[in-house]
């Protein structure tokens, strides 16, 4: 799977650097294939983690590697073709006037293929729930197809990101929103994987029910404490200090 997907992905743009995070299935074979690709292609780098410690930790390891390597834009996506590489050009183009670009299933032009009714309800309901609790106007908070400017990753204090699983996606976008960065959604069609199985389950959805309010309590209700808010607060203070024009007399 990894060999085919990564080879086709890299073929789209030679200036894009692929950094695969191997999943736990067939780990030994995946390591061999990924290492072989890295040897053959300068645009591929592989990060091997010593232990399986969650999806969120894997993303953070990849983000940190990208920042150390000097990346200006970081793309997060699934390598099983659920996220179609054909949308990469759209994400990069949208990043010209945005700081965080989300590939969105839930705006006009977006959609989902090959999901059953239960999974659609869990995804839709989870996204709506997070929007209402966090009070943000982002249609696809739980999506994992993103283009992120390095300034965002540097500002949102990656070391303190605590969410795992699918709530990780919500936390990264929420932190960027609170910090005053420009968040934009572009439509994508998400296609279910053709091999393997999804980790989405009612248990994961139930876990998010109590994690999202905790996220709001930790970040959204104490903006003066957490450094993620500093950028937005500074801008607000500058605006308040600017002298207001005197009203014209009649």
Residue 122 is assigned to a structural domain of this protein:
yes
Confidence (pLDDT) at 37:
80
Model pTM above 0.85:
no
Confidence (pLDDT) at 221:
55
- Cα diameter, the chain: 80
Indicate if 42 and 59 belong to the same structural domain.
Answer: no
- Give the rounded percent of residues in the chain with a pLDDT score beyond 90: 40
Number of structural domains in the chain: 2
Residue 245 is assigned to a structural domain of this protein:
no
Answer whether residue 238 shows pLDDT above 60.
Answer: no
The domain of 184 spans: 54-239
Indicate if 130 and 170 belong to the same structural domain.
Answer: yes
Residue 120 or 107, more confident: 107
Indicate if 183 and 226 belong to the same structural domain.
Answer: yes
CATH code (residue 218): 3.90.550.10
Query: CA–CA separation, 198 vs 189, rounded Å?
Result: 17
Is residue 88 within 8 A of residue 16, CB to CB? The reply is: yes
Indicate if 205 and 230 belong to the same structural domain.
Answer: yes
């Amino acid at each position: 799977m990894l060999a085919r997907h990564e080879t086709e992905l890299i073929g789209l743009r030679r200036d894009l650097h692929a950094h695969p995070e191997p999943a736990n299935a067939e780990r030994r074979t995946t390591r061999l294939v990924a290492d072989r690709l890295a040897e053959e292609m300068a645009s591929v780098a592989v990060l091997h983690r010593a232990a399986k410690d969650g999806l969120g930790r894997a993303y953070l390891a990849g983000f940190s590697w990208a920042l150390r390597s000097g990346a200006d834009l970081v793309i997060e996506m699934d390598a099983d073709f659920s996220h179609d590489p054909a949308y990469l050009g759209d994400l990069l183009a949208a990043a010209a006037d945005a700081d965080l670009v989300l590939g969105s299933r839930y705006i006009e032009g977006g959609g989902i293929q090959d999901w059953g009714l239960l999974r659609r309800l869990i995804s839709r309901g989870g996204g709506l729930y997070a929007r209402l609790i966090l009070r943000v106007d982002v249609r696809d908070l739980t999506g994992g197809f993103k283009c992120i400017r390095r300034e965002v990753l540097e500002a949102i204090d990656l070391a303190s990101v605590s969410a795992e699983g699918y709530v990780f996606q919500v936390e990264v976008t929420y932190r960027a929103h609170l910090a005053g960065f420009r968040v934009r959604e572009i439509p994508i069609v998400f296609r279910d994987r053709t091999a393997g199985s999804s980790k989405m389950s009612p248990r994961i959805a139930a876990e998010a029910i109590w994690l999202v309010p905790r996220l709001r309590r930790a970040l959204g209700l104490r903006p003066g404490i957490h450094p993620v808010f500093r950028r937005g607060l500074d801008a607000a203070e500058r605006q308040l200090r600017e002298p207001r024009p005197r009203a014209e007399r009649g």
